Amino acid sequence: MNNDRSKTSSPESHDDHHGVGHVVPIRYLVLNGIALLILTVITVAAAQIDFTQWDIYELNVIGAIAIATVKAVLVCLFFMHLFWDRRFNSFVLVSSIAFVGLFMALAMLDTSEYADDKIRGDSENIQRLLEEARSASGSAE
Amino acid sequence: MLMNLFCSSPLLAAAAPRRGFWMPEQASTVSGEIDSIFMLITWISVFFFVLIVVLMGYFMVKYRRVEGHKSAASPSHNTPLELTWTIIPVIIVIVIFYMGMTGYINLRSVPVDAYEIDVTAQKWGWTFQHPSGAIETETLTIPKGRPVRLMMTSQDVLHSLFIPAFRVKQDVVPGRYTYLWFEASATGRYDLFCTEYCGTGHATMGAVVEVYEEDEFEEKLEELLRWIEDIPEERLFVAGKRLYNRCVQCHSLDGAPGIGPSFRETHELWGQERRLADGRTVTVDENYVKESIIYPAQDITEGYGNLMPSFRGQLRERELRALVQFIRHLDRFDDEGNLLEEWQ
Amino acid sequence: MSTLSTHPSGTNYLNHTRGIMSWIFTLDHKRIGMMYLCSVLLSFFVGGMLAVLIRLQLWSPEASLFTQDQYNQIFTLHGAIMVFLVIIPSIPAALGNFVLPIMLGAKDVAFPRLNLFSYHLWVVGALVFLLALVTGGLDTGWTFYTPYSTDTDSAMGGVIPALTAAFILGFSSIFTGMNFIVTIHRLRPPGMTWFRMPLFLWAIYATAIIQVLATPVLGITLMLLAVERAFGIGIFDPSLGGDPVLYQHFFWFYSHPAVYIMILPAMGIISELISIHSHKHIFGYKFIAFSSIAIAIFGFLVWGHHMFTSGQSSLMNVIFSFITFSVSIPSAIKVFNWLATMYKGSISLNTPMLYALSFIFIFSIGGLTGLHLGTLATDIHLHDTYFVVAHFHYVMMGSALLAMIGGMHHWWPKMTGKMYSEFWGRIGCGLVFLGFNLTFFPQFMLGSQGMPRRYAQYDDYLPETVQLFEFYHQLSTIGSLVMAAGFFLTAGYLLHSIFFGVRAPANPWGGRSLEWQCASPPPHDNFAETPTVGDCYDFSVLEWDEKEQGYTWREDVPRPGEEGTG
Amino acid sequence: MSHSHEQHGHGDHPEHLGHHWDNLQQQFEAGKLGMWLFLATEVLLFGGLFVAYAVWRGNNPELYAYGSEYLDVTMGAVNTVILILSSLTMAMAVTYAQLNRQKALLVCLILTFLGACGFMLIKFFEYSDKIQEGILPGAAFYDPPPNLEASNYWNPDLPIIDRHTLLALRIEAAEREREGRPAQIDRPRFGEVSSVAPAAVGPAGFDPDAVRARHVRGEKSKVHPLQDPNRPVNAHMFFNIYFMMTGLHGIHVLVGMIVIGWLIYRAALGHFGSDYFTPVDLGGLYWHIVDLIWIFLFPLFYLI
Ligand code: HEA
Ligand code: HEA
Ligand code: CUA
Ligand SMILES: [Cu+2]
């Protein structure tokens, strides 16, 4: 009875079975760690480049997110064993991200659509706060 | 009988002659279209509901369990059949969606020549301001046969303006403007509700929409501006309170400085010197207050910016006087602006 | 195989250990389910009594029973209790906990400790909710809309405790959902393939997906709201530059899927009830199973239909309206499949079946009026009126909750080992059904005629309007009293049956899913031996046994195990 | 529990196997799936905040360009490195547990724990800096720093830029321009007054291009935001989201420290080995997701 269960439920075939689960060699982990550190350096460096001089402001954002995504994928695949795990676990992760993406896309679309209806400038309340700050700090004039 | 039930109830006919069974009277140009969409969906629903309930009742009786009777063998699935009752509803809902969308686009497309009314919502009341400067709070007076556009914002929390007879509704959101438009197609008086929960007074935050023929409307509008003539000179300060609606955003009555100085402060300084931003001083008197309203930029009070709009042309002489009297006699009102007993 | 049909000889889960502690700290899914059931019913009673107060207040237009502030608290509490304490945990956590592992053929859920923890979280959440009452009350409506809820001058003092409570209850719900997904994935015994699972399990599975994916967003929303209210940070509050419409996106991103947390398990129950009590194979198993998943997924795409008038942009309104209709298709599939199941069946009009039929009747109305609301042009008129109130009571109270009551009757013999009075059961169901429709049908007209919701009184308006509203409100109030009578009756005979009821057979209705193969009430570990699984909707193998007063396996048919399948 | 063992009569039931499981593999995989589902809820929990981030960024990019100048990139980068390293040691801990290397397991866990401490320490400095400077979320943003002299940004010669000061600056600038002198403020733009009703007017004199250019040139704004005529409207919004996200992340790190502490305790007692390492594995997954979120937070707040 247990036989067909454990057959279907064992991970991918290259599992050399020390007990349960897949053992990831330390070598892989260290390499992965180094890759992550290098990518961190790259992100910081890339942020210094002035893409605005070529009129492409958002490239900084896109680049940073792209690198962060690569890092995240590395963490997931190797540190978190998803590379060797059941595909369903990856599916769970990916779908959670997909739902965040869905939420984000629709919410951004809407808020940008009605952005023009907003009353510009500081709200009355903030003006009041500033006024208070001014009289409190005594730095006016 | 059924037709009766769904179109107009005899039971209620006496109470509300112009109402249908489902919908209130149609008093705007869009209500007809919206009602027909509503009725279409209702009839589709009735069809499916009756279909389902009749089948259910029939099966219930026909296949009721009796001694010895076994359920007859019948297939446990039938893909064509199942696809049929998937696809038919799909088609139906697409039609419904499309009609709803076109109706909605109508509701959002304001004709260019619309008559504009500014609406401010506050807990728990509405302020409607006409282009001529006439302001009303308990009623909303509009012309028949002319598109009206309401530009709305709220001073505090969410509210929502709902006129059932016009089939329009829009939330009023603090920190932004939302709009609503309609064209009344019948004169009369209609309810206006607040339909976004806003606290204690939510249930009573209503007004009455009054629709007049065009010429009558102009008269009403005049009247709205003229009401002040009917108030005796010595009680003008009461009229000033009503006009204060337009100043409330910037001037408080309780002494707390807002965008502009509190009227309480101005009142307390009556007859005394007031320092101005440029270092001059000026005596707070009738003249100063009047000037402040008509040429606000001339004398900027110390500690405030040049932010007050000029009301030149928007307030007539008597209204100006009423406001001046109001500020001058502010000791007859409490901090909320209620008239004290002895002055009522 | 003696346990399949005979009475239990030894202990069962109810008496296998004793003492109150053996319940409070039990790890047995059945006991946890029962504790959930009692707690949920208690909350339902409280919420129901508040509902009756609402109805009494609205009897007359000037509404003199309560002040406006009191009324606002009453409907807020009514809504919040019913949603967060009653209907979301009702079917999954109470009935699901009890039957899911048994139906699956497992000994327990995957994480029994987590399961108990969920229940304890529920209790803590309920207690914190009470805290909201003593810290100044709660009057925001169950939707906590900003800026009303974050403005300390507007909303009463209990907002933060209430948010905390809802946060805790949310995590209780998440853990239940996680537990069920893992149980269904990992604890299916041999032979229990996905398509042999009873449809109730598919429904619970689809529900669990929503619980896991949507509820965390509620968590973060409530957290932001609490921070906003406590410290005034301004993500949602316009007086600090925030955006109140964004809050509504956050709220409904959870709360629309949440309505499917309520209805999906109910639909699962109905699939079971209709098939078992018609003694006929369910029609279109796969369509029903997949439509549950489809509802769960589509349910995430339509939240904006609650915001058609909120200041949401016209573009999004159109998009959301379009997607809204997509959810009605899988629902339609289910309704038609249920009807087809009844066709040529052999229908026993037992109390559970009566509830199932009531469900179809009421859900059709509730769901179809969802079409009026999903349609842009008409929702503009209907939004925030009693039409919406009627719609959601038809689907929440009349559908989800009645399905839960029906399911409770269905599994009552299994849970308690006692039969209730069939006669009073039918009367009770009838009263509830009539009372329900009398309460809520008039509210459709009330709403389309313009009566706004959350109104403590309605005397301030034009006389003919008030007169019309009064008429419908009075009908509604009368109905609610009839319904209350029905529920009291139900509570009465159910309690009676616990003490004086006839012993229940293992299989009183003739169900084939695994829970009917174990004794009533089930033993501590559910099955003495791992049960064998067959087609759980093939009733031809069962026959009525007079001696047993229940159904037993036909002598002339081999059991699945014996014929070598499995 | 012993009770149930008798009942289903599995004589050979391993020690760590719950009574309702068939074998360790099944139990392990269930635990893992459960953890992944939990991580999915974490993703959605943070997801809400990412949505808030994206919505505000999409509509008001200037807030981010402006606000991020007040964050310390070095601290953020060091913290990123720390978290990556501690993630590495955590992953190694899992391997060592599976290989029955008790000592190495313990060392790795302790290193992970130290990483978490280091992260929190740096966070503590960052936060106390912000509090010192009065750069806080929400209404508190509009209070001047508690100690004006000690502030690195506060310039005693400058007024707080509120509506009135801004007005004065505008008039002054206009006069200078008229007199042919160059304007002192960078192209101030002002909140538009709506035609509909007297709208709130505030210091909207913000020029995103100018700030971007300055940012790219590597110049820090040296003035306290309250004194900065280029402060965008609702500048506090950046800090709202910054504090909410890093705060929630910080709470997760604290929880992670408790979890790792507990793992250290059990590892020291020798509880884990090749046949039972689920707690290490699941704790590790949790720790990695904390790292993963930081991997996004770092560039999103500090760098762009
Ligand atoms: C159990 C809970 C539940 C369920 C199942 C539903 C189901 C649906 N709901 Fe409902 N809804 C609520 C609970 C629920 N709702 C609540 C609580 C609110 C208000 C919250 C508040 O504001 O406080 C609300 C509000 C609400 C609104 C917002 C109204 C407003 O505030 O303006 C809308 C708008 O689209 C809507 C639509 C729908 C639709 C289209 C469905 C569909 O899923 C219905 C599908 C079912 C059918 C269509 C019937 C069966 C099919 C047939 C009989 C076959 C024929 C079918 C066709 C031809 C299509 N609902
Ligand atoms: C599952 C959800 C649920 C349920 C079951 C109910 C049940 C009822 N509701 Fe409720 N209701 C809501 C959810 C629910 N409601 C929500 C979410 C709101 C919106 C709140 C808001 O605006 O913020 C609302 C609002 C609401 C309003 C509108 C208030 C307003 O807008 O001003 C009204 C008015 O009539 C109302 C009435 C009723 C009535 C008469 C019942 C009756 O059906 C109740 C009948 C029940 C009883 C009388 C209890 C009897 C119980 C027992 C005796 C014990 C049970 C034991 C066993 C059966 C064994 N409800
Ligand atoms: Cu204003 Cu409700
Ligand atoms: Cu919805």
Measured between beta carbons, the chain B residues lying within 8 angstroms of C239 are: 174-175
B309: contact with D, CB 8 A cutoff: yes
Question: Among the residues of C243-299, which ranges form H helices?
Answer: 244-278, 285-298
Query: Is the Cβ pair D198, B305 closer than 8 Å?
Result: no
Give Cβ neighbours of residue C564 (< 8 Å, ≥ 6 apart): none
**Mind telling me how many Å the CA of B301 is from chain D's nearest CA?**
12
Which residue in this structure is represented by tokens 């000791």?
B331
Instruction: Summarize the confidence of residues D125-133 as an average pLDDT.
Output: 90
pLDDT band of B80, cuts 50, 70, 90: confident
C217: contact with D, CB 8 A cutoff: yes
Q: Which tokens is B162 given?
A: 């709902």
Measured between beta carbons, the chain B residues lying within 8 angstroms of C238 are: 173-176
pLDDT of residue C432: 96
On whether the CB atoms of residues B155 and B225 are closer than 8 A, the answer is: no
Instruction: Summarize the confidence of residues A38-54 as an average pLDDT.
Output: 80
**Range from C36-40, C212-216, C239-243 carrying the lowest mean pLDDT:** C239-243
Q: Which of residues D143 and D186 earns the better pLDDT score? A: D143
Is the pLDDT at C315 greater than 70, yes or no?
Answer: yes
Chains that touch B (3 or more CB pairs under 8 A): A, C, D
On whether the CB atoms of residues C448 and C387 are closer than 8 A, the answer is: yes
On whether the CB atoms of residues D240 and C234 are closer than 8 A, the answer is: yes
Is the pLDDT at D200 greater than 50, yes or no?
Answer: no
Give helix C29-57 / helix C97-104 axis angle, nearest 10°: 140
pLDDT of residue D158: 74
Query: Is the Cβ pair D163, B250 closer than 8 Å?
Result: no
Enumerate domains of chain D plus CATH numbers.
Answer: 2-7+24-145+207-303 (1.20.120.80), 154-196 (no CATH)
What confidence tens digit (pLDDT) does each residue in A2-13 have? 333 333 333 333
CB atoms within 10 A of CB C178: 27
Chains that touch C (3 or more CB pairs under 8 A): A, B, D
pLDDT of residue D169: 66
Distance D204 CA to ligand 2 centre (A): 49
Is the pLDDT at A20 greater than 70, yes or no?
Answer: no
What confidence tens digit (pLDDT) does each residue in D151-175 have? 878 877 777 877 666 666 666 666 6
- When the pLDDT of each residue in chain A is averaged and rounded to a whole number, the result is 78
Q: Which tokens is C6 given?
A: 């005979």
What confidence tens digit (pLDDT) does each residue in B186-228 have? 999 999 999 999 988 899 888 999 999 999 999 888 888 777 7
pLDDT of residue C169: 96
Q: Where in chain B is the domain with CATH 1.10.760.10?
A: 233-343
Residue type, C484: A
SS3 C155: coil
Is the pLDDT at D67 greater than 70, yes or no?
Answer: yes
Q: What is B233-343's CATH superfamily?
A: Cytochrome c-like domain (1.10.760.10)
C374 CB under 6 A from ligand 1?
A: yes
**Burial class for C466, CB neighbours closer than 10 Å (0-12, 13-18, 19+):** buried
Is the pLDDT at B14 greater than 90, yes or no?
Answer: no
CB atoms within 10 A of CB D300: 22
C526 CB under 6 A from ligand 1?
A: no
Query: Is the Cβ pair C316, A95 closer than 8 Å?
Result: no
List, as ranges, residues 94-133 from A with C-beta within 8 Å of D: 95-97, 99-100, 103-104, 107-108, 111-112, 115, 119-127, 129-133
Look at ligand 1, atom 53, and give the residue with the nearest C-alpha.
Answer: C364
- When the pLDDT of each residue in chain B is averaged and rounded to a whole number, the result is 85
pLDDT band of A52, cuts 50, 70, 90: low
pLDDT band of D277, cuts 50, 70, 90: confident
The rounded distance, in Å, linking the Cα atoms of D244 and A72 is 21
**Residue in C300, C301, C313 closest to A110 by CB:** C313
Is the pLDDT at D11 greater than 70, yes or no?
Answer: no
Measured between beta carbons, the chain D residues lying within 8 angstroms of A24 are: 91, 94-95
Instruction: Summarize the confidence of residues C471-496 as an average pLDDT.
Output: 96
State what percent of residues in chain D have pLDDT above 70: 75
B209-241: string of b/e by CB count within 10 Å (b at 16+)?
A: bbbbeeeebeebbeebbeebeebeeeebbbbbb
Instruction: Summarize the confidence of residues C517-546 as an average pLDDT.
Output: 81
On whether the CB atoms of residues D261 and D113 are closer than 8 A, the answer is: yes
pLDDT of residue B72: 66
pLDDT of residue A15: 39
Give helix C199-231 / helix D24-59 axis angle, nearest 10°: 40
Measured between beta carbons, the chain C residues lying within 8 angstroms of B37 are: 375, 377-378
**Mind telling me how many Å the CA of B57 is from chain A's nearest CA?**
42
Q: Which of residues D166 and C441 earns the better pLDDT score? A: C441
pLDDT of residue D73: 87
What kind of fold does domain B115-226 have according to CATH? Immunoglobulin-like (2.60.40)
**Range from A73-82, B64-73, D101-110, D201-210 carrying the lowest mean pLDDT:** D201-210
The rounded distance, in Å, linking the Cα atoms of A116 and C214 is 30
Is the pLDDT at B20 greater than 80, yes or no?
Answer: yes
The rounded distance, in Å, linking the Cα atoms of A41 and A45 is 6
On whether the CB atoms of residues C472 and C440 are closer than 8 A, the answer is: no
**Range from C142-146, C375-379, C516-520 carrying the lowest mean pLDDT:** C516-520
Residue-by-residue DSSP string for D60-124: -HHHHHHHGGGS-HHHHHHHHHHHHHHHHHHHHHHHHHHTT-HHHHHHHHHHHHHHHHHHHHHHH
* D245 beta partners: none
Q: Where in chain B is the domain with CATH 2.60.40.420?
A: 115-226
Ligand (nearest to CA of C306): 1
Instruction: Please compute, for residue D45, the number of CA atoms within 13 A of its CA located in the half-sphere on the CB side.
Output: 24
Q: Which tokens is B249 given?
A: 């955003």
pLDDT band of C128, cuts 50, 70, 90: very high
Pick from B178, B39, B211: nearest CA to B108: B178
pLDDT of residue D280: 92
Residue type, C534: G
What confidence tens digit (pLDDT) does each residue in B91-118 have? 999 999 999 999 999 999 999 889 999 9
Enumerate domains of chain C plus CATH numbers.
Answer: 19-553 (1.20.210.10)
ipTM: 0.87
Residue-by-residue DSSP string for C409-463: HHHHHHHHSEE--HHHHHHHHHHHHHHHHHHHHHHHHHHHTT-BSS-S---SS-H
Is the pLDDT at C354 greater than 80, yes or no?
Answer: yes
Instruction: Summarize the confidence of residues C275-294 as an average pLDDT.
Output: 92
Q: Which of residues C380 and C562 earns the better pLDDT score? A: C380
Which residue in this structure is represented by tokens 């990695």?
D288
Instruction: Summarize the confidence of residues A127-136 as an average pLDDT.
Output: 80
Instruction: Summarize the confidence of residues C48-61 as an average pLDDT.
Output: 95
D270-289: string of b/e by CB count within 10 Å (b at 16+)?
A: ebbbbbbbbbbbbbbbbbbb
- Model's pTM, two decimal places? 0.87
Look at ligand 2, atom 12, and give the residue with the nearest C-alpha.
Answer: C79
pLDDT band of D243, cuts 50, 70, 90: very high
Q: Which of residues D229 and D182 earns the better pLDDT score? A: D229
Instruction: Summarize the confidence of residues C240-259 as an average pLDDT.
Output: 94
Is the pLDDT at C111 greater than 50, yes or no?
Answer: yes
Q: Which tokens is B114 given?
A: 């619309």
**Range from A77-81, B295-299, C348-352 carrying the lowest mean pLDDT:** B295-299
A127: contact with B, CB 8 A cutoff: yes
pLDDT of residue C203: 95
The rounded distance, in Å, linking the Cα atoms of C534 and C516 is 13
Q: Which of residues B340 and C375 earns the better pLDDT score? A: C375
The rounded distance, in Å, linking the Cα atoms of C408 and C420 is 11
pLDDT band of D217, cuts 50, 70, 90: low
